[in-house]
Amino acid sequence: MKDNKFNELFEDLNFDIEEPDQGHKERFFRKLEQASATPEKEQKIRRLWAPVISIAASLALVFFLLGEYMSPLNAANNDLASISPEMKQTQQFYTGLITRELNALNEEIGPETETIINDALEQMKKLEMNYAHLEKDLIDSGRDDRVIHAMIQNFQQRIDLLNNVLTQIEEIKSLKNQSHENNII
Amino acid sequence: MTPTITHIKDLVERCRKGDQRAQMEIYERYYKAMYNTALRITGRAAEAEDIMQEAFLRAFTKIDSFKGNSTFGAWLKRIVVNESITAYNKIIRLGEVSYNDELKNEAEDSGAALNEDDRKNAKVRRILEKIKSLKENYRLGLTLHLIEGYDYEEICEIMNISYANCRTMISRAKTSLRKKLQDDEG
């Protein structure tokens, strides 16, 4: 019963007794105008620009596709160098290193090393094919970081392979020398 | 009652089309209730106006999500309550020192309560004062329950607490408020 009276106390009372400060309506009206003014303007601009942009976009697409078919030179755009100057440097560094090592490998060609070098070149071909794949992936994925990473790893694998082969050739040579020396002793 | 409701429906329809006059009319109609709700929850006059006005703007921008399941007033009030709770939590988190504008209504209070309305207002003020003097979560729970008229389920959702917790808290808060009011009378 006490509780009933307590609840009734709240039922027939109006608790909305406070008023906001003077001028709140004007302040709200300003806010309202601001809020409604911004999206409308944007919409108008978008409506004006939408056809222009779509035409420009389709033109750009046509040019891009044409360029892709017309000049095979553009294919070079798919490699690491096209991503950023740093990547261009990286690519130049690795390709330089690889050609140097390949040259060193070519100098070592001889009767004892022929099989190992041929095998190495075979492996190199596989890695190069892999790289060509990655170049395609790079475009498909929209320059995904993982693909870039894989490309760099591919370079490193090639260098590792060449290094490995070169050290093995060194070993073969030194082994021969040593065994020769051993024979002397 | 019916004419007002249809009128509100009409206004809401016009608001859907972005009619600014209709929006101002809705504001006119609801600002006082919404302002008081925000004020009771946050306890800050300065913030309450901002919260109330932001809630109105919010309501107008997402008026399409008002499907008419509840009354427009209830829907609007829920937005105000949610915004107020967010603001209130922020105030609590930042540990701001509350500034109670106690002098604001000094003049009204000191004058003799001449008519029925004034006497009622004085009573309301006294009750609000008592509620304010309770523990923070009691104050919030009781405000939502007794004044804003939310049920336990709604309150536990608003205050983000469990149902059992909510029940216990409100019943304790009620007891404590009743005691305070009795002390005051006696």
Summarised one tens digit per residue, pLDDT across range A12-38 is 788 888 888 888 989 999 888 888 776
Number of H helices, E strands in chain A: 5, 0
A97-144 per-position pLDDT tens digit: 888 888 888 888 888 788 888 888 899 999 999 999 888 888 888 888
Cα–Cα distance measured from residue B101 to residue A21, given in angstroms and rounded to the nearest whole number: 12
How high does pLDDT run on average in chain A?
A: 79
Cα–Cα distance measured from residue B115 to residue B118, given in angstroms and rounded to the nearest whole number: 6
Residue A76 has pLDDT above 70, yes or no: no
The CATH number of domain B1-96, selected from 1.20.120.160, 1.10.10.10, 1.10.1740.10, 3.40.50.1220: 1.10.1740.10
How high does pLDDT run on average in chain B?
A: 84
B35/A18 touch (CB, cutoff 8 Å), yes or no: yes
pLDDT tier, B82 (very low <50, low <70, confident <90, very high otherwise)? very high
pLDDT of residue B96: 61
Residue A183 has pLDDT above 80, yes or no: no
Is A21 an 8 Å CB contact of chain B? yes
pLDDT tier, A78 (very low <50, low <70, confident <90, very high otherwise)? low
Do A61 and A86 reside in the same domain of the chain?
Answer: no
Q: In angstroms, what CA-CA distances link A97 with A90, A137, A171? A: 11, 24, 22
B36/A33 touch (CB, cutoff 8 Å), yes or no: no
Best of B19, B30, B35 to disrupt the A interface by mutation (most A CBs within 10 Å)?
B35
Residue B52 has pLDDT above 80, yes or no: yes
* Mean of pLDDT values over B103-115: 49
Topology annotation, domain B116-186: Arc Repressor Mutant, subunit A (1.10.10)
Q: Number of folded domains in chain A?
A: 2
ipTM of the complex: 0.75
Is B113 an 8 Å CB contact of chain A? no
Identify the residue with better confidence: B110 or A79.
Answer: A79
Residue type (1 letter), B79 = I
A17 contact residues in B (CB cutoff 8 A): 36, 121, 124-125
Q: Which domain range does residue A150 map to?
A: 80-184
pLDDT of residue B6: 62
**Highest mean pLDDT of the ranges A164-173, B27-36, B122-131:** B27-36
Q: Closest-CA residue in chain B for A26?
A: B24
In-domain check, residue A44: yes
pLDDT of residue B4: 64
Do A45 and A110 reside in the same domain of the chain?
Answer: no
In-domain check, residue A16: no
Do A109 and A56 reside in the same domain of the chain?
Answer: no
In-domain check, residue A170: yes
Lowest-pLDDT range of A50-64, A76-90, B12-26: A76-90
Best of B32, B54, B143, B148 to disrupt the A interface by mutation (most A CBs within 10 Å)?
B32
Which tokens go with A39? Answer: 């999206």
Shortest CA distance to B170 belongs to which of B153, B185, B186, B184?
B153
pLDDT of residue A1: 45
Do A99 and A166 reside in the same domain of the chain?
Answer: yes
pLDDT of residue A73: 45
Cα–Cα distance measured from residue A100 to residue A94, given in angstroms and rounded to the nearest whole number: 10
In-domain check, residue A10: no
pLDDT of residue B78: 93
Shortest CA distance to A97 belongs to which of A152, A168, A156?
A156
* Mean of pLDDT values over A53-73: 74
Distance from CA of B87 to the nearest CA of A (A): 17
Is B122 an 8 Å CB contact of chain A? no
